[in-house]
């Protein structure tokens, strides 16, 4: 019998870094769990990052700015180190305006109720003269993992705007180690330690719990392959018990089905397997998640400029793969 490990515990914590220890993992399961957690932590937790910037007087990233020590390439690299908390799914535009001799920090970026800068002291640029001026318009979006400019949706880029590779992941580093430990008479059980470092937009504990929930949600879907209900032998009392059990199971299944559909509805439009053209049209029309689509009817979609019958068929097929349909 494969025994379950002990409950995880935090054995060390400092700032945005923590070490989680899971003891008594069945032999071989330390590697299985450690590698799985690491992959999900790095790829699947949401975060926010700068995706574009427009600097006054600058046409491309290979420019320089008068009285500014850093060139534009270095300023962009510095901007990538600024971490944000975004309290909306929509793209947020903000600005930075500085004049005079000064060291420009992340705290100089204008914030709002939708936007919060986490690492205020992150360096952006150095202005060396009273005549110096640095003005920029910054675009910030939410997403998953790492997304280079080449893989983002195609579209006409505004003149003077510099598109940036986006590092959405709030995880800075994840490592794990495994060592043997004794459980009963056996000495080959695994002790797993997972070291998580975040960027400050999320705590290591929350990152660990969110990763666990992502894995649980995926494995729960696989449980639908279980066998159906067992047959009940004849008998009045047994029939009553069977009916009661069936109703209970039906209620549980309905609740699970509802939860799965709600989770599916949270899938972002760009994650659907549809053409980039259709994704671009939907994005322009304000659709961000599948939930927004299923609330619309075919007639509603026909009114969207540029979508067309082919795009609607494409959307219906993509929704059908998740067991979802447009509004009747």
Q: Span 208-219, mean pLDDT? A: 94
- 229 has a pLDDT exceeding 70: no
Pairwise CA distance, residues 58 & 73, whole Å: 11
Q: How does residue 232 score in pLDDT terms, banded at 50, 70 and 90?
A: very low
Average pLDDT over residues 229-244: 56
Nearest alpha-carbon partner for 301 in 265, 325, 272, 270? 325
In a domain, 261, yes or no: no
The answer, yes or no, to whether residue 198 has pLDDT greater than 90, is yes
Task: Give a yes or no: residue 58 inside a domain.
Answer: yes
CATH of the domain at 72: 2.170.120.12
Instruction: Quickly count helices (H) and strands (E) in the chain.
Output: 8, 14
In order of 85, 146, 281, 296, 305, the CA distances from 277 in angstroms are: 30, 22, 6, 19, 12
Structure tokens at 135: 């003005």
The answer to whether position 77 is within a domain reads yes
Question: What's the pLDDT tens digit per position in 114-167?
Answer: 999 999 999 999 999 999 999 999 999 999 988 888 877 666 677 788 999 999
Structural domain boundaries, residue 157: 46-167
Top pLDDT among 304 and 84 is at 84
Write down the pLDDT at residue 234.
52
Is pLDDT at 230 greater than 60 in this prediction? no
- Is the domain of 51 the same as that of 161? yes
**Which band of pLDDT confidence, cut at 50, 70 and 90, is reported for residue 211?**
very high
**Phi and psi at residue 3, to the nearest 5°:** -85, 150
Cβ atoms of residues 144 and 169 within 8 Å: yes
Q: What is the pLDDT of residue 291?
A: 79
229 part of a folded domain: no
Q: How many CA atoms lie within 13 A of 237 on its CB side?
A: 0
Domains of the chain: total = 2
Q: Which residue has the higher pLDDT, 82 or 233?
A: 82
Digit-coded pLDDT (tens) for 241-278: 666 666 666 666 666 666 666 666 677 877 777 887 88
Instruction: Name the strands in the sheet holding 171-183, side by side, starting at the edge strand that comes first in the sequence.
Output: 9-14, 17-25, 186-198, 171-183
Which carries the bigger pLDDT value, residue 268 or residue 83?
A: 83
Last residue of a domain, one of 167, 200, 228: 167
Question: What CATH number is attached to the domain comprising 312?
Answer: 1.10.150.20
Residue 122 is assigned to a structural domain of this protein: yes
For residue 259, what pLDDT is reported? Answer: 63
Whether residue 110 lies inside any domain: the answer is yes
pLDDT at 75: 94
Q: What's the pLDDT at 238? A: 56
* Angle in degrees, CA 156, 160, 161, rounded to 5: 60
Share of the chain above pLDDT 70, in %: 87
- Tell me how far apart the alpha carbons of residues 112 and 87 are, in angstroms, rounded to a whole number: 10
Burial, 142: exposed, middle or buried (Cβ in 10 Å; 0-12, 13-18, 19+)? buried
Residue 196 lies in a domain: no
Axis crossing angle, helix 204-222 with helix 236-265, rounded to the nearest 10: 130
Pick from 145, 167, 189: which residue ends a domain? 167
Out of 148, 167, 186, a domain closes at 167
Tell whether 272 is covered by a domain: yes
Going by pLDDT thresholds of 50, 70 and 90, the confidence category of residue 199 is: very high
Q: Read off the pLDDT band of 29 (50, 70, 90).
A: very high
The pLDDT, as a whole number, for residue 233 is 53
For 108, phi and psi rounded to 5 degrees?
Answer: -80, -10
pLDDT for residue 169: 93
**Average confidence score pLDDT of the chain:** 86
Q: How far apart are the first and last CA of the chain?
A: 50
């Amino acid at each position: 019998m494969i025994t379950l490990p002990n409950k995880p515990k935090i054995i060390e914590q400092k700032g945005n870094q923590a070490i989680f220890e899971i003891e008594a993992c069945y032999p071989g399961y330390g590697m299985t769990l450690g590698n799985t957690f690491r992959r999900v932590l790095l790829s699947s937790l949401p975060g926010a990052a700068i995706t574009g910037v427009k600097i006054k007087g600058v046409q491309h990233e290979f420019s320089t700015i008068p009285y500014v020590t850093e060139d534009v390439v270095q300023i962009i690299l510095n901007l990538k180190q600024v971490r944000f908390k975004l309290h909306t799914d929509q793209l947020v535009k903000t600005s930075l305006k500085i004049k005079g001799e000064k060291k420009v920090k992340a705290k100089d970026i204008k914030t709002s109720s939708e936007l919060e800068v986490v690492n205020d002291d992150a360096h952006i640029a150095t202005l060396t003269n009273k005549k110096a001026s640095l003005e920029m318009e910054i675009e910030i979006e939410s997403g998953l993992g790492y997304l280079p400019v080449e893989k983002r949706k195609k579209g006409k880029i505004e003149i003077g705007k510099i598109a940036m590779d986006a590092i959405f992941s709030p995880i800075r580093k994840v490592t794990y180690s495994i060592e043997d430990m004794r459980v009963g008479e056996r000495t080959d059980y695994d002790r797993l330690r997972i070291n998580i470092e975040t960027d400050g937009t999320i705590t290591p504990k929350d990152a660990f719990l969110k990763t666990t929930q992502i894995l649980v949600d995926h494995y729960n879907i696989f449980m639908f392959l279980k066998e159906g209900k067992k047959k009940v032998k004849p008998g009045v009392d047994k029939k009553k018990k069977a009916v009661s059990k069936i109703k209970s199971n039906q209620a549980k299944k309905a609740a699970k089905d509802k939860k799965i559909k709600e989770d599916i509805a949270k899938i972002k439009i760009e994650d659907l397997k549809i053409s980039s053209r259709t994704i671009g049209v939907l994005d322009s029309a304000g659709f961000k998640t599948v939930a927004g689509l299923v609330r619309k009817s075919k007639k509603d979609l026909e009114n969207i400029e540029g979508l067309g019958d082919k795009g609607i068929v494409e959307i219906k097929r993509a929704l059908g793969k998740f067991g979802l349909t447009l509004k009747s």
